[in-house]
Homo-oligomer: A and B are copies of this chain.
Amino acid sequence: MGGEPAHHDGVRPLLRKFDQRLNELIHALYPDEQQRPGYARLAREISAATGGSISGTYLWELATGKKRNITLEQLDVLAQFFGVPPEYFLNEEVSQRVKAQLALATALRDAKVRSLAMRASGLSPASLDSLLTIVNETRKVQNLPEGGHQGSGTDAGADGETTAT
């Protein structure tokens, strides 16, 4: 008789896809898997950006589905950091709509930024500086780390981009 353990999670739909949605946010905010920070560092960034507090351990537990019955306070911290309404974690429709927008933003970054870098290779240093300012301001709006350092070739190595490894 048996069958699976059958966790009685299904009855309360609010917490079923929490881990999946959280991972979508993380992947959307850090598309490049190589540069994506770990849970500990991500937790530090969240605490610094939102003023709230969350631990790397708990982030991992949430992302891997070990814990899901989150509190309103922590939900608020996550929503604030990722720039999504708290309903994103509760409502499927809101989740889909936000997900689409996140995918769009990721796609834009993936293609447009690169072509921008290629075109920028012929500009004057003054123009490049202005563009850099704009990019940094945009990164602030998107909750990205303010360093805006480099990008393994995405934008810095604009010249001779074909050899980008």
Contact = CB atoms under 8 A, between A and B. Distances in A.
A68 B76 contact: no
A61 interface: no
A101 interface: no
Contacts of A71: 69-72
A51 B151 CA distance: 43
Interface stretch (A36-44, A85-93, A112-120, A127-135): A85-93
A97 to B, nearest CB: 13
Contacts of A15: 72-73, 76
Chain A interface size, as a band, is: 20 to 34
A75 interface: yes
Contact of A76 (B14, B77, B85, B87): B14
A87 B86 CA distance: 8
A13 interface: yes
A49 to B, nearest CB: 13
Contacts of A76: 12-15
A38 B77 CA distance: 34
A11 interface: yes
Nearest to A52: B12
5 contacts: A11-B51, A69-B72, A72-B75, A86-B87, A86-B91
Given A15-B73, A86-B90, 18 more contacts: A11-B52, A12-B52, A12-B72, A14-B73, A14-B75, A14-B76, A15-B72, A15-B76, A68-B72, A69-B72, A69-B73, A72-B75, A72-B90, A86-B87, A86-B91, A87-B87, A87-B90, A90-B90
